[in-house]
A and B are shown apart, each in its own frame.
Chain A
């Protein structure tokens, strides 16, 4: 290299090549950010997320009103916080956000861009960290917006049965944001380990929806303990503020642990397998 640089026009080159401090993790994050927003599918995805959230929140709010006004007093929920509707709705609306997080890595393998990406950012750890940062921040913001949207849709539909208190609703919206952010990071880690979109989406869907429902049918004490530990269930306990079987904070910790475990699995695969 030294031989090459001395024979090249070195002053000319430094202006072309950029300052010596750029790049690194912040460069990798900037690169991932640029990549994320430069494909149309992201915008379609966000539109779909908003529509899904609006529809789910509207339907959820109608259910609540029906239950409060029907002839069966046993299912009355009374006056509920607006954020409660957003929390129930996100269980459906989360799948478009999960798809967004998944595409950040699986699209790289599907299109072959992973080989380009690893040439730019050859450090596997740095690359995964950059992707995690972008996914976590973007899905947190998207989650907050979706939570706010769900609450806003719920308000007119619930009417007298809805309760808006700033602290309570903001707390619920932030809980939705944190949940979506962590479940997205979990998906990113899983996608990095599995590399395929179909495999990742299937696995996430199984873990979030199918497994808890299927195992719940057994109604076995031990199995129920296990189900309480699954990321989707833990996330719901956290968002809804349940104190049983564990406090909401424990739900958050469990969910974060799942996200971290998935990331570590993804990192192990990224490091050891050829691109």
Chain B
């Protein structure tokens, strides 16, 4: 469980994180989205006590990270895969890490096997590829078997197999009841991985909602209507427009209705007795929904919510 209360970070005149209030619940993957410079990494750094908040607080299980006696057993994090001495072997890096938190050294070999680095464990980390470095970072996050895991861009530099492996790892960690908080720019990947989305822009919270709600709330999510009766369809369109619902007609004659539920459209078609050959929901991709959300922060300022699970 991660709790952010009015978390704020200013660097001089720039506000990197602006009054962020959030609860990240266990048992699900929370995706952390936002454009470059939106304050995602700074937020994660503040949760780990690397950056000091200008105002507000970030708590892990109700406590500040810096006060945890065995922080690695509470929170595992991959923030920067390059934060490893290039002259130190992966195994020694993890061994130093384990000793700092009284974690048995056999656990080091376990996580090395989990991430598939056993064969190169004694090689210097400086010789690693980006993907191997990323795996080492994930091994470090898993080392203390923590209940909270944070990953900043974990699939950077991974091959398709690695990307899939990370996705399944996140899903299984959440399924075990852990809190998983992951940032990524890969929308398609996030759509497959996350249950809950937190979207920030210019340091402010834009959305905190289940991924289905974010996609459902997009203007690209629409109801598609086809009918063999052009006159009936025209009547349906007239009625919908009269009710203030946006309708567009595609080249093949199908209506694209946005802002009404599939049930509303179906009921209305029934009322006016028009025969339908298709009544379906055309879902936006997460990418479309995300682009809309972050296109203009002021425009979507009204969508910012303070609690979790609010509809977008």
A interface vs B, CB < 8 Å? Answer: 1, 3-8, 13, 15-24, 27-28, 30-32, 34-35, 38-41, 107, 111-116, 118-124, 272, 274-275
Contact = CB atoms under 8 A, between A and B. Distances in A.
Q: Which of B62, B68, B69, B107 counts the most chain A CB atoms within 10 A?
A: B69
Interface residues on B, range: 35 or more
B181 to A, nearest CB: 13
Nearest to A5: B147
A3 B80 contact: no
Nearest to A19: B102
Max chain B Cβ within 10 angstroms of own Cβ: one of A17, A119, A121 = A119
A122 B65 CA distance: 7
Contact of B97 (A16, A18, A112, A116): A116
Given A8-B147, A30-B100, A112 B49 contact: no
Contacts of B68: 122
A4 B85 contact: no
B37 interface: no
Contacts of B95: 34, 38
A15 B49 CA distance: 27
Contacts, number: 150
A163 B24 CA distance: 73
A16 B73 CA distance: 10
Interface string B23-52: 000110000000000000000010011111
Contact of A120 (B52, B97, B107, B177): B97
Given A3-B177, A39-B85, A115 B99 contact: no
Kindly name the residue among B26, B82, B101, B140 whose own CB sees the greatest number of chain A CB atoms within 10 A: B101
A17 to B, nearest CB: 5
Most buried by A among B51, B60, B67, B97: B97
Given A1-B74, A17-B144, A21-B102, 19 more contacts: A1-B1, A1-B147, A1-B148, A4-B27, A4-B147, A6-B177, A20-B70, A23-B69, A23-B100, A28-B100, A30-B100, A31-B97, A41-B87, A115-B79, A115-B83, A116-B84, A119-B48, A119-B50, A119-B79
A31 B148 CA distance: 23
Chain B: interface secondary structure?
A: loop
A111 B100 contact: no
Contacts of B60: 1
10 contacts: A3-B26, A4-B1, A6-B177, A7-B27, A18-B70, A23-B101, A31-B96, A41-B87, A116-B83, A122-B71
A8 B178 contact: yes
B85 A16 contact: no
Contacts of A113: 83-85
Nearest to B68: A122
A34 B99 contact: yes
B107 A34 contact: no
B70 A22 contact: yes
B176 to A, nearest CB: 6
B86 A120 contact: no
B92 interface: yes
A127 to B, nearest CB: 9
Contacts of A119: 48, 50, 71-72, 77, 79
B168 interface: no
Contacts of B93: 38
Contacts of A35: 85, 88, 92, 96
